[in-house]
Chain A
Amino acid sequence: GAVVSQHPSWVICKSGTSVKIECRSLDFQATTMFWYRQFPKQSLMLMATSNEGSKATYEQGVEKDKFLINHASLTLSTLTVTSAHPEDSSFYICSAETGDEQFFGPGTRLTVL
């Protein structure tokens, strides 16, 4: 149980384009999902908390207009990186909460050229 999927697993895009990443909880419902970013050789940094049916809450320093989050159902949250630039290249990982524990998706590696 507690399986979280992400799609796509990797994406390469041109600077200025937008990229959508999907996060799904496969065998449980998740009222709350989280989006993290991890740069090479660094730890995970929480970007935002995604709540089903309400607006996401963003951590300090994360631009909400650049990283659009939609939690459309109890099993799906999406992160859209708008007008991506090379500095947005990173490993984006979602997690879904069940009980007191968070389970992570496999991650999406974004490369912006």
Chain B
Amino acid sequence: QKEVEQNSGPLSVPEGAIASLNCTYSDRVSQSFFWYRQYSGKSPELIMSIYSNGDKEDGRFTAQLNKASQYVSLLIRDSQPSDSATYLCAVDAGGTSYGKLTFGQGTILTVHP
């Protein structure tokens, strides 16, 4: 059974700090990795996608992927109160399961002024 694990938190950081969110996955053949942000009562919003080992940066967000360790992370620099949300890690195993996302349970992030 494919599993995606996240620390549920809550993770609390001061405004301006770096927030670090982590995710591990069990299916070694997983191909695609995504970070979504979900505000309370809303649907997920795609923040980052990453497909190959290394770092990928987009504005204040950096995704890091290490397939050997089956680990993906999201760094948020200069955290703002508006970043307070639940962050969901999602994994697409590819192959016959292409497009089917398995989500982690989410990490609640609180950025306090």
Contact = CB atoms under 8 A, between A and B. Distances in A.
A11 to B, nearest CB: 15
Interface stretch (A13-21, A68-76, A80-88, A94-102): A94-102
Contacts of B46: 101-104
B104 to A, nearest CB: 6
Interface residues of B, number: 20
B28 interface: no
Interface in B35-94: 36, 42-46, 49, 51, 88, 92
A103 B90 CA distance: 12
Interface in A1-51: 32, 34, 42-46, 49
What 9 A-B pairs have minimum CB-CB distances, sorted nearest first?
A107-B43, A104-B43, A43-B103, A44-B103, A43-B105, A93-B43, A104-B44, A106-B43, A43-B106
